[in-house]
């Protein structure tokens, strides 16, 4: 198994952002301080949001390199007019994700229903079999690799995870509530077909089904089936517990 080291990043202050801009733009601190204060007000110092914000203003040519001046230039007032609300960077992410190619957007939406991370083996099951037992008609894993290259997701050991919780939450919220319920049902149904005596997979499938049942409208037949699925899940959970050892 891979050894993972986690770093806790606190929000950056105006001095931190000023130094960052000065280093990246090759400009003295006095020239980047005002822009740093603006970026701080837009992002609240969140490191991930700062990076996304800078990418956006560069892509929109609000921050650009001037060949004539041989330095980076920007219009403070034009940048200030962009995304005034505190949630502006989240709105920015939503806009960027809605511009993704449809297969990639469908893929990250599916993964978001599994949580902020998902096991590669689970994703392979959703990607295998005939079309009736596949979540999408295209290669899901190929699209996940594209998501990794785009910086939306990353692979850690046997897990794929979103590179930031805000990315996961934003993508999940982009799925209309009714569609999200049906997607949970679809994921759970496909995983149940592959679960057999695999307790972990069965529990994961039942979790997905139960999310659908909380807000969905299952038929009487489905309610009976899902009750049986939950009964099996309970048995798996009991057998995996340490109750007997504690007696």
HSE-up (13 A, CA, CB side) for residue 67: 0
pLDDT exceeds cutoff 80 at 9: no
* Rounded Cα distance, 199 and 175, in Å: 29
- What's the pLDDT at 240? 74
Q: Side by side, which strands form the sheet with 117-119? A: 117-119, 159-162, 153-156
Read off the pLDDT of each residue in 124-134 and give the average, rounded to a whole number: 73
Which pLDDT band, with edges at 50, 70 and 90, does 87 fall under? low
Q: Nearest to residue 71, comparing CAs of 36, 18, 28, 39? A: 28
For 227, the enclosing helix (H) or strand (E) is helix 220-240
> Percent of the chain, pLDDT > 70?
89
- What's the pLDDT at 124? 92
pLDDT exceeds cutoff 80 at 16: yes
Where residue 207 falls (left for φ over 0; alpha for ψ -120 to 50; beta otherwise) is alpha
* Rounded Cα distance, 191 and 204, in Å: 8
Ranking 41-55, 143-157, 220-234 by mean pLDDT, the lowest is 41-55
Please give the distance of CA 145 from its chain centroid, rounded to a whole number: 14
pLDDT tens digits along 23-35: 999 999 999 999 9
Q: What is the mean pLDDT of the chain?
A: 88
């Amino acid at each position: 198994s891979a050894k993972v080291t986690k770093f806790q990043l606190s929000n950056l202050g105006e001095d931190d952002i000023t130094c960052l801009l000065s280093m990246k733009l090759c400009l003295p601190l006095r020239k980047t301080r005002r822009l740093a204060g603006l970026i701080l007000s837009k992002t609240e110092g969140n490191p991930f949001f700062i990076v996304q914000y800078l990418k956006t203003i560069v892509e929109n040519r609000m921050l650009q390199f001037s060949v004539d001046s041989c330095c980076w230039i920007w219009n403070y007032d034009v940048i200030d007019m962009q995304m005034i609300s505190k949630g502006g960077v989240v709105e920015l992410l939503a806009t960027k994700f809605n511009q993704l190619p449809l297969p990639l957007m469908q893929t990250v939406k599916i993964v978001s229903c599994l949580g902020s991370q998902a096991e590669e083996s689970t994703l392979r099951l959703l990607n295998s079999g005939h079309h009736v037992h596949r979540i999408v008609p295209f290669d899901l894993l190929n699209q996940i690799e594209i998501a990794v290259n785009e910086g939306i997701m990353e692979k850690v050991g046997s897990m794929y995870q979103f590179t930031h919780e805000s990315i996961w939450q934003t993508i999940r919220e982009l799925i209309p509530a009714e569609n999200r319920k049906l997607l949970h049902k679809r994921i759970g149904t496909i995983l149940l077909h592959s679960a057999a005596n695999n307790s972990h997979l069965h529990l994961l499938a039942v979790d997905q089904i139960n999310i659908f049942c909380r807000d969905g409208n299952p038929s009487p037949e489905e309610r009976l089936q899902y009750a049986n699925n939950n009964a099996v899940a309970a048995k798996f959970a009991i057998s995996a517990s340490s109750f007997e050892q504690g007696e």
